[in-house]
Amino acid sequence: MFFRRFTALIVISFLLWQTASGQESTPVPTPEKAISPAPKPKPPATPAEPPITFNSVHVDGPYIALTFDDGPNATLTPKLLDLLAARHLKATFFVVGQNAADHPDILKRAVREGHEIANHSWSHPNLGKMSDEAVRRELQKTDDAIAAAIGKRPTLLRPPYGSITSHQKKWIHDEFGYRIIIWDVDPLDWKRPGPSVVTARILKETKAGSIVLAHDIHPPTIEAMPATFDQLMKKGFKSVTVTELLAMATPLPPKPTPSPSAPRAIPVATPAPASSPPPVPTNTPGG
């Protein structure tokens, strides 16, 4: 009897052990963490193309460029050179090719005295309305006349009237290497408003980095220059050639970030006038 009970106890214990063993869970292997592919390196940023056209530049100092168009004139340009020499000022002359070919000695004198000679076309047409080939002839003839007079080719172009297309800027820069020079100070001296008006307009508009437009073919302009030069110098301005001014250019400082605590201004709509004056043309006949 005892033996049967002992045997039964062993059988029951064996069955309970197998049941318990069957219920144990087999550990499931944890999948490895997915590894993200390494980010592709960003292509290097394409450097911005240098500017081609200049109205003015930002400079750290009181430097400006005085420029004179349409000469050289047989009598007025030498007078202007005398005024500049007496004050140790430098200028840039954007010459018309026909005049340059007629007066090479004036160009030679200007270069000897530290001034710069630049291209202003052969016959002063509106380049923006011409074919590429016609523009090319205008510029090349003037380029050749300047090179014949002073022994080197110009690097700057001022299109007459400031008229030039974006397409023309690019191919002219690529083909001739010219930088296109416009202006930010225009006294409209070609209208001959009088010497005092020319002086007042230049003094009012000129700031550091300005490119000042005037013409050495109008007598009232030459009459205006002594007072103009003296007053500019009194204000502390120093005149350099356009190429020198461009070399001084510095980046514009970043605009200050507005304080988050500052109250935000709410714009107020202003009623439009009944009639608006016509827009002022960008390209004046002065160039």
Tokens of 29: 């292997």
Q: Is 215 annotated in the active site?
A: yes
**CB 89, CB 239: distance < 8 Å:** yes
The catalytically annotated residue of 120, 124, 215, 218 is 215
DSSP three-state, residue 65: strand
- Establish whether 184 is a catalytic residue: no
Residue type, 123: S
Distance CA 99, CA 272 (A): 49
Decide: helix, strand or coil at residue 287.
coil
Three-class HEC string of 121-176:
CCCCCCHHHCCHHHHHHHHHHHHHHHHHHHCCCCCEECCHHHCCCHHHHHHHHHHH
Give the active site residue among 69, 143, 189, 216: 69
User: Catalytic site residues?
Assistant: 69, 215
